[in-house]
Amino acid sequence: MRLLITNDDGILALGIECLRAAADPLGEVTVVAPDREQSATSHSLTLHHPLRPIPRGERRWQVDGTPTDCVMLAIEALMPERPDFVLSGINHGQNMGEDVLYSGTVAAAMEGLALGVPSIAISFAGGDLRADVTQLREQVKVLTPLLKHLTSLPKFPSKTLFNVNLPPRPAGEVKGVKLTRLGRRVYSESVAPMKDPWGRPIYWIGGGEISWSGEEDSDFRAIEDGYVSVTPLHLDLTYYDVLQGAGTWWRDL
């Protein structure tokens, strides 16, 4: 089995090292990852300058581009044969609810799927990574069996990527795996007003308070309860309920 690994935290991130450790027992791993952090770059593609892959060992490249660039470059150019799976992560921080719309980690898996390769995004739902380094390393034990299962399904669901979040606790205290749907995330005070060195107003997006809401079967509830969360996602954003109820809001024009 051929596995392509990428991430959005950059090739030097601890998370990608852990994902590699988790995936190595499953097959031949190729790593193609950004040369620096690309978190929250979503599905952006570099069109206005060329990409220069630099080899960093056997089947390992760093690329001066986004996670999406990395997946496209790996599949279309760098790998002699197409991968059987794209694995993206382990992201330093959760990707639950609306996070998946901003996430470079999830976007890389979306790109894999768009190119016809079954894909899995993996994120570690820990807050302060400096404090969580041990827990992140420990997740390898949790992740290998899960990846083994998902990559050996008799039929990987079509048009689907799996969004996996790992709970911030020691591997021995992870309660199990739950299938979930996306919850809702609410940011408050996420734009911080500041002054630049010349006293002019600037704004820094980030920080603030994050709160979550969602049903019993939502991703954040699973994480809160100490489970690994697995959410199937697909690329079709069509809102079928509204389309099917079009009689109430649409008329032929």
- Using CB under 5 A as the criterion, which residues of the chain lie in contact with Mn ion when the complex forms? 8-9, 39, 91
Distance CA 112, CA 24 (A): 19
Nearer to Mn ion by Cβ, of 8 and 219: the residue is: 8
Minimum CB separation from Mn ion for residue 16, in Å? 10
What does the DSSP 8-state code read for residue 76? I
Residue of closest CB approach to Mn ion: 39
Q: Angle, to 10 degrees, between the axis of helix 14-23 and the axis of helix 129-151?
A: 30
Question: Least distance to Mn ion from the beta carbon of 92, Å?
Answer: 6
CB of 94 to Mn ion, least distance (A): 10
Give 83 or 93: the residue with its C-beta nearer to Mn ion: 93
* C-beta of 127 vs 245, nearer to Mn ion: 127
Instruction: Point out which residues pair with 194 in neighbouring strands.
Output: 202
Query: Please, which residue, 33 or 146, has the CB nearer to Mn ion?
Result: 33
Say how far apart CA 182 and CA 205 lie, in whole Å: 23
* Token reading at 197: 């060195």
> Which token pair is 130?
């400096």
What's the min distance (Å) between Cβ of 246 and Mn ion? 38
Is the separation of the CB atoms in 181 and 245 below 8 Å?
no
